Structure 1
Amino acid sequence: MFKKTSKWFIAMAIVTFLLGACSSGGSDEIVATVNGKDILKKDYEVEIENTKTSYEQQGINLDELDSEMKEEVEKSVLDQLINTELILQTAEQDGVSVEQGEIDSEIDAIKSQFEEDKQFEELLEKNKLTEEQLGEQVKKQLIITKYLDNNVGELSTTDEELQAVYNQYKESAETQEQEPEDFETMKPQLEQQVLAQKKNEKVNELIEELRKSNEEKIEILL
């Protein structure tokens, strides 16, 4: 049920990078603007395809959803692009920056997912993505992560919260006729789970506040 988490934002971004975070070709039509910065249709379409892939891995075919559900997914993708641009602009205003060494470290972490450098290079080539472009995307993700971490602040858990999550895990394991591990063994993973949930809630609150305070600077053209 629980998986050990790594850097909570960067890890989620790796697959997106390698499946086409930097689009090539496509339409230069503008689908939205954030404080005068354009979000292009070609980038939006790339994220739609990435979302389709993600859903397919969960056994869901987006093309088979009804029109209302499709519109909801498409709106979610556009919101994600708008939120990303909004956070980047806000982080820049706040003076958030990253060192080249931090970028290189993340690139090395991505490369380590492959048995050979050649496999990494072939995937980049297949997706018409250069290592320099990948570095730019990594830089953006690092800035976003640093900005969010700075604004989310320190989080903590209580024994009551951990026990509540453990009870859910135990009930699920027993329903599946599996022997649940004891509370103390599970405690580190339970803490990660609760902290991740709290962080996500804080991030959602922060993004909602940014959207409200910048509402007049956002124009959706799709």
Structure 2
Amino acid sequence: MKKLVMGFGICALAFGLAACGGEEEATQEDPVATDETEAVEPGEEEMGSFIDTSDIPEVIATVNGEDIDKEVYVATIEQEAMQLAMQGIDIDSEEGAVYLEQVKDQVLDRIINSTLIANAANEEGIEVTDEEIESGIADLMAQFGLESEEQLQELLEAQGVPMEELREDVAENVKSNKYIEQKVTEIEVTEEEIQAFYDEAVASAPEAEADFPELEEVREEIEFQLQMDALLANLREESEVTIHV
């Protein structure tokens, strides 16, 4: 569970790596254009064609005086909209609209939470070593099947992203995770809270109840989730958050 906490700067780069890698594969398989079909330059078709993001303001939220631009918000929504479409959900349908609104709310919450944690980590003066940064980059490369830094560099250059920017985002991500690891251990969770969380999860998916893991199998994950919820609630209570979307 702790490994799942990722800052949105590095998330955006990860999405870019995935999209760029997929684009290269598609380009290799593209048929030669004929008189009946127009040639499409690589990258000309954007994920944004799935949804209309024109009404999203340039600043989506302000956290403790820091404005959060819409770039990562829009890119993440577009990525998830594409995922919904690949699952056969019509984004223009009533069902698709409901899913999309849920995605927008979830993405906004995750961006704000990520910003709150990053700010708190910096205020705590948490430091990160070069070795931790290199390890984080290696994890990212493994996630996308990259075998060398040269391959990573090529993908970053294709997006116009300097390697130093990736290193900075990885460093912020490592700081955030170190902050979380320090703080969640200070938050106590009762057995009643764990049981209630588990029971609610089972009740929300009755059709899958037979395949649901036993409580003991997921106890640590539930405890960590409850600790994270409490940590984020405390950070929000202590912070000034204004949402513009």
| TM value normalised by structure 2 | 0.61
Kept after mapping to 1: 8 A contact 2:136/2:170: yes
Deviation at 1:56, TM superposition (A): 5.2
Kept after mapping to 1: 8 A contact 2:12/2:72: no
Match of 1:17 among 2, 13, 20: 13
Kept after mapping to 2: 8 A contact 1:18/1:123: no
Partner of 2:146, secondary structure, is coil
Deviation at 1:77, TM superposition (A): 1.2
The match for 1:210 is 235
Identity %: 29
Query: In 2, Cα distance between the equivalents of 1:100 and 1:126?
Result: 25
RMSD of equivalent CA atoms: 4.1
Please list the CA deviations of residues 3-43 of structure 1 after superposition, one character each: whole Å capped at 9, or x if unmatched.
xx78343599976432239xxxx998212111110101222
Kept after mapping to 1: 8 A contact 2:10/2:173: no
Partner of 1:219, secondary structure, is strand
Query: In 2, Cα distance between the equivalents of 1:110 and 1:71?
Result: 29
Query: In 1, Cα distance between the equivalents of 2:127 and 2:13?
Result: 20
Kept after mapping to 2: 8 A contact 1:114/1:120: yes
Partner of 2:16, secondary structure, is coil
Kept after mapping to 2: 8 A contact 1:33/1:39: yes
Deviation at 1:50, TM superposition (A): 3.2
Equivalent AA in structure 1 for residue 235 of structure 2: L
In 2 relative to 1, CA 140–19 (structure 1 residues): closer, same or farther, beyond 3 Å? same
Partner of 2:127, secondary structure, is coil
> 1:219 aligned to 2:215?
no
Partner of 1:33, secondary structure, is strand
What is the aligned residue count?
193
> 1:46 aligned to 2:71?
no
The match for 1:122 is 154
Please list the CA deviations of residues 97-127 of structure 1 after superposition, one character each: whole Å capped at 9, or x if unmatched.
2122211121123234323444333332333
Gaps in structure 2 of 5+ consecutive residues: 18-53, 199-207
Please list the CA deviations of residues 164-192 of structure 1 after superposition, one character each: whole Å capped at 9, or x if unmatched.
9xxxx99439xxxxxxxxxxxx99xx75x
Kept after mapping to 1: 8 A contact 2:7/2:114: no
Match of 1:80 among 101, 107, 110: 110
Deviation at 1:145, TM superposition (A): 0.8
In 2 relative to 1, CA 134–63 (structure 1 residues): closer, same or farther, beyond 3 Å? farther
Kept after mapping to 2: 8 A contact 1:31/1:220: yes
Query: In 1, Cα distance between the equivalents of 2:10 and 2:64?
Result: 27
Match of 1:96 among 104, 120, 126: 126
Kept after mapping to 1: 8 A contact 2:84/2:91: yes
Equivalent AA in structure 2 for residue 147 of structure 1: Y
Gaps in structure 1 of 5+ consecutive residues: 174-185
Please list the CA deviations of residues 127-176 of structure 1 after superposition, one character each: whole Å capped at 9, or x if unmatched.
332221111111121111111111111899x9xx9xx9xxxx99439xxx
Kept after mapping to 2: 8 A contact 1:28/1:42: no
> 1:111 aligned to 2:126?
no
